[in-house]
Amino acid sequence: MFERVGRELVYEGSILNMYKDSIKVSDGKIAKWDFIGHHGAAAVLPVTAEGKIIMVRQYRNAIDRESLEIPAGGLNPKESTKDAAVRELEEETGYVCGHVELLLSTVPAIAYSSEVIDIYLATQLTHTAQHLDEDEVVEVEEYTVEELCEMIYSCKIQDSKTIAAVLAYKDKYCH
């Protein structure tokens, strides 16, 4: 039996808040656990009419290198994850979709963060133009499912939301 008996805000940021939680554990002692409260995110796996998956390559500060990922981003206030996924698709790739459906939902850091990422499948794509944030530099690339699986299994793709999305799509739609 675990019971949170206290939560102290340590840092308040634009996309997350950091806390020091006090947890009463089964023997009655109080343990201190770190907790990151996240405002939520959405991601999208865009598939072209030719069956290629549109990916984005961008620098990620946490790993100090570029990462190949599906488009994703945080939620705006009162925005649904579906609307955020469609918005991020156009902003990062310059594509709009005629069809979008929930593919899966994931909690990427379940041990210490409340972040939930709903991942959508987007099809019936039409190219428009990217609408990047001021600080974003995003390259748009296309790959087959097989190419992406090879990159996953050779550890070239390490982003958990991307791995989950590609493998779920392959399992559900590629027979």
Beta-sheet pairing, 41-46 with 30-38: unpaired
Q: Is 147 a known active-site residue? A: no
CATH topology of domain 39-173: Nucleoside Triphosphate Pyrophosphohydrolase (3.90.79)
Q: What is the mean pLDDT of the chain?
A: 96
pLDDT band at 28; cut points 50, 70, 90: very high
Residue 92 φ then ψ, to 5°: -85, -30
> Active site residue: 134, 136, 146, 150, which one?
134
**For residue 43, which of 168, 144, 154 has the smallest C-alpha distance?**
168
- Whether 125 has a pLDDT exceeding 90, the answer reads yes
- Long-range (24+ apart) CB contacts under 8 A made by 145-149 are 145/51, 145/53, 145/169, 145/170, 145/174, 148/53, 148/55
% of the chain residues with pLDDT over 90: 93
pTM higher than 0.75 for the full model?
yes
Range in 33-42, 131-140, 144-153, 164-173 with the lowest mean pLDDT: 131-140
The pLDDT value recorded for residue 43 is 98
Domain positions in the chain: 3-37, 39-173
The residues pairing with 19 across neighbouring beta strands, listed in sequence order, are 9, 35
